Structure 1
Amino acid sequence: MLSGAVLLTFALWLVGTVAMSGLVVRRVAQAAAIAVALGTAWLVLPLGSQPSESAVRASGSAEAYSDGRLAEYRAAGRPVFVNATAAWCVTCIVNERVALSSDVVKDAFAKANIAYLKADWTNQDPTITAFLERFGRAGVPLYVFYPPGQIEPVVLPQILTPSIVVDAITPVTAASAS
C-alpha cells in the first residue's frame, strides 16, 4: 500500500510540475501520470473476491488454510508450511514467484511430505486475521513452518529466497531421507 501511495504522489507531483509548461510537455506528463496511477491501482488493489479452495489448490499444490486443517496435519505428525499472503501484497507475490514456486522448494516440500497451506488474507478473512495475531502480526506476509512433533513453529523472515526456505526445513528433509 505504501508503494502505491508513493507512486500516486509521484504522478500528482509530475502533473503539478509541468502545469506551466508547453502543451506537448503537459500532455506527456498527464499521460505518464495516468499510466502510473493505473499501474499502481493494478498492483495494490484486490481484484475480486477471495479465491475458492479449488482455485488455491490449482495455484501450486497449496491447500486453503483453516485452523481445522492445520490441526489435522499436526495431529497426524505431518510437517506443515503456512503461507499467509494476499493478492495485493507485492512482497508476497515476489516471494511466491522467487522462492515458494521454485523447483528447489517444491522438491524439498515433496521429499519431506510437507503440507502446504495458503492463508489468503486478500479480503481480511477473520480466520486469517486471528492466525496473524497469534504471531503478533498485523498483516502479511507471514511464513510459518510447523516441524513434526515440535510444539513451537518456526517463523521465517518476510523476504524469502529458496535457500532460506530449504534451510528452515532441512532438519525435516534430512530426517525423512534416513
Structure 2
Amino acid sequence: MARSPALRDHVAAGILDVAATVIAERGESASMSEIAKAAGVGRATLYRYFPSRESLFQALVESAFADLTARIADAKLDTVPVVEALARFTRAVIAAVGKYRALAVFEKSPEQAAAVESGLVAPLESLFERAASEGIFRTDLPVSALIPAYVGLLEGTSTRVVQGQLGLEEASAAITTIFLHGVLDASRRG
C-alpha cells in the first residue's frame, strides 16, 4: 500500500531532523546507517526517501534554508521598530543555526546561494537601509560597512552556538547588544 504524500513528507521531515542532529554531533562523516538507526528506520527505508548520501545532504541543506527564510519571514521585520527587527532577525538566524549546526560543512549550489541572497541578505540589507534612513544607525559609516560588521559578529557567535557554548537567547542578546551598543561600558562612552 502506498503512503499518502502527507505521511511521506512527515517521515522525510523526521529523518531530516534526526540527520541534522547526527551530522552536527558526528560531522560530515556520519554514515547513512548511523542516521537510519538514530531516526528509528531501517536503511532500506532511509534509502527509499533519500536514494544516496548526496540526496540526503541536498535535502538537508534545502530544508535548512527553507526553515531559515521562513523564520525570517515570520519575524515580520518591517512591522516593528528597527531595534526589535534586528533582535528578531538575529534570533531567527541563531535558531536556524542551532537546529542545523552541520550546515557549515556543506557547499552551496548557485541556486542555494541565490536563495540565501533573497531569503537572508535582502531582508538584512532592507533592515539596515531602513535604520539608516530613519537615523537610527550611525551616519559616519555606510550601510555597506555596517552589514559586514554585524554579519561577522553573527558568524562568530554562531560558532559558539554550534559548539554548545552559548544558548539561543544568550547568543541573540549578545549579538544585538554588542552590535547596537558596542562593548564600552556606558560610563566610559564619551
Common fold by TM > 0.5: no
Instruction: Indicate the structure with greater strand content.
Output: 1
Scaled by the length of structure 1, the TM-score of the pair is 0.31
Instruction: Indicate the structure with greater helix content.
Output: 2
**Structure with larger Rg:** 1
